[in-house]
Amino acid sequence: MFCRNGLCVSLDTCLCSPGWLGERCDEPVCSDVVNCSGNGSCVSPNLCESLDEYDGVDCSIRIGSNYHSPVFAYNWYNGTVPENAPPGTIIVFQENITMINATDLDTGRNGKLEYTFSGSNGAERFFNMDSQGQLSVVAKLDYDSLPQEFIMTVVASDKGVPPKSAATKVAIIVQDVNDNTPLFQLFGFPEIPVNASGELGRTVGRFLATDKDSGSYGTVRHSITNESNPDAVFAVNEDTGELIVVRYPAQYRYDLTILAEDGGEPPKSAILPVVISVYGHLVEERNDTVVVNPTTNTVAPVSTTLGSSSTTGTAGKVTSGETVPTPKTTTTQATVVKSPQEPWYQTVGFKAGAGAVGGVVALCLTAVIAYRCFWGQKYKVSSTPEHPRRSSPMAYTHQMTSIGANKYVMEGDIGNIEDIDASADSENETDFASFPPGRHAFSNQAFT
């Protein structure tokens, strides 16, 4: 046997608590209120629920007519609550009102009120109203993903027969809170290769951060921390996160820190490390830069002159650590420094003004000079002035010495000296055969 309001002391035996009777201790006793005077029901020890025509603790008072209806102080109650308010938070309305009260001029049960509410956007899931007319939060709110405003109707009803009621409107505005941090749409730390001599104003990467908050709290501005961007070589578009080259790099590596900051007070922020690996030839002592318009925050075209070469570049809207007052053309003298990653012949070609093509040309010229110096030279030998003859090129590597007017001596190990123009049809043409090593004299010969 189950003892509802007592203690089970043995099989089928209950010891009831004070105010309760019955085998199961489920019958309340209202002896102190005259058992509700026969005009009501005893619902718990000494507590009566009277019939509609009666009132009082013991249901002995016959009630009169229900003359009055409840009245609210305001037609509209306007309250606010922050989106991060925990459950149990009491809603505060205008003039610091915390209860939506109505009054009833009737007495007894005709003047006792109870409250109910209904509303839009599923208000019953997020708020609760107690018997005193106090509204509180019962579920988590979110300005960015849930309704930002709840409109409700609160009804106050008395207990008269028949009951009378009144209604009022309640508006609860959910306030946005800067509760989200910007988040970069990128995983890992990026490494970006950048050509040292590339066009200024070009975009080399895009690092966009977003914020789930609304309004200014969700507006993200991008920038580069000054300490990570020496000489302001790079700039970032504050809206799109595009990384732009605005000056020629002066070193081979940059460890940039891109900062994303929302519009909160205080703002929330996130950082992204970005490694810039510069390749190619560094150009020193240059002041070239793209020009940031300080009014519109846009990049204007810039022309850079180096020797006889000229380049022009443009970029989009950027933020920069410094302000350049006026667009201008900058002419500078530059010193080219060889990159340790580049082959030597490309450096030679670059200094000659031809890049890699110049390196190949230099190699070819070196080979030709070596051949001319070490493999032979071409001379032409002609006959005496009285009898001109066609010149015949001779390949030799030894010395020819003058010993007098129109006389020469060729010394050394002369190899086969051939008449290269042996096919000529002149009768004065002489074919030179093989000369043995030693000293040979030639007279009346003109060398050209």
Per-residue pLDDT tens over the stretch 199-212: 999 999 999 999 99
CATH number of domain containing 57: 2.10.25
Measured in degrees and rounded to the nearest 5, phi and psi for residue 437 equal -60, 150
**Residue 339 resides in a domain:** no
Classified as helix, coil or strand, 8 is strand
Classified as helix, coil or strand, 15 is strand
In tens, the pLDDT along 118-154 reads 988 889 999 999 988 999 999 999 998 899 999 999 9
Query: What is the pLDDT at residue 89?
Result: 96
Residue with tokens 């010969």: 445
Domain co-membership, 80 together with 51: no
DSSP secondary structure string for all residues of 96-144: GB----EE----GGGG-EEEEEEESTTHHHHEEE-TTS-EEE-S---TT
In tens, the pLDDT along 307-320 reads 333 333 333 344 44
CATH number of domain containing 103: 2.60.40.60
Distance CA 76, CA 233 (A): 59
In tens, the pLDDT along 24-55 reads 899 999 999 988 988 889 999 999 988 878 88
Mean pLDDT of the chain: 74
Domain co-membership, 152 together with 235: no
Name every residue whose Cβ is closer than 8 Å to that of residue 227 and which is 6 or more positions away in sequence. Answer: 257
pLDDT of 445 higher than 60: no
234-236/47-50 β-pairing? unpaired
What's the pTM?
A: 0.49
Boundaries of domain holding 139: 71-175
Q: How far is CA 353 from CA 287, 307, 309, 332, in A?
A: 21, 10, 10, 16
Domain co-membership, 146 together with 161: yes
Both structure tokens of 324? 């350049």
Domain co-membership, 279 together with 411: no
Domain co-membership, 315 together with 369: no
Q: Average pLDDT, stretch 230-242?
A: 93
Q: Average pLDDT, stretch 385-399?
A: 42
Domain co-membership, 321 together with 348: no
Domain co-membership, 161 together with 134: yes
Domain co-membership, 134 together with 203: no
Of 156, 175, 194, which marks where a domain is finished?
175
> What's the number of domains the chain is made of?
5
Domain co-membership, 58 together with 151: no
What's the pLDDT band for 285 if we cut at 50, 70, 90?
A: low
Domain co-membership, 292 together with 387: no
Domain co-membership, 102 together with 163: yes
Domain co-membership, 158 together with 280: no
Q: How many Cβ atoms are within 10 Å of 110's Cβ, its own excluded?
A: 21
**Residue 338 resides in a domain:** no
User: Which carries the bigger pLDDT value, residue 328 or residue 126?
Assistant: 126
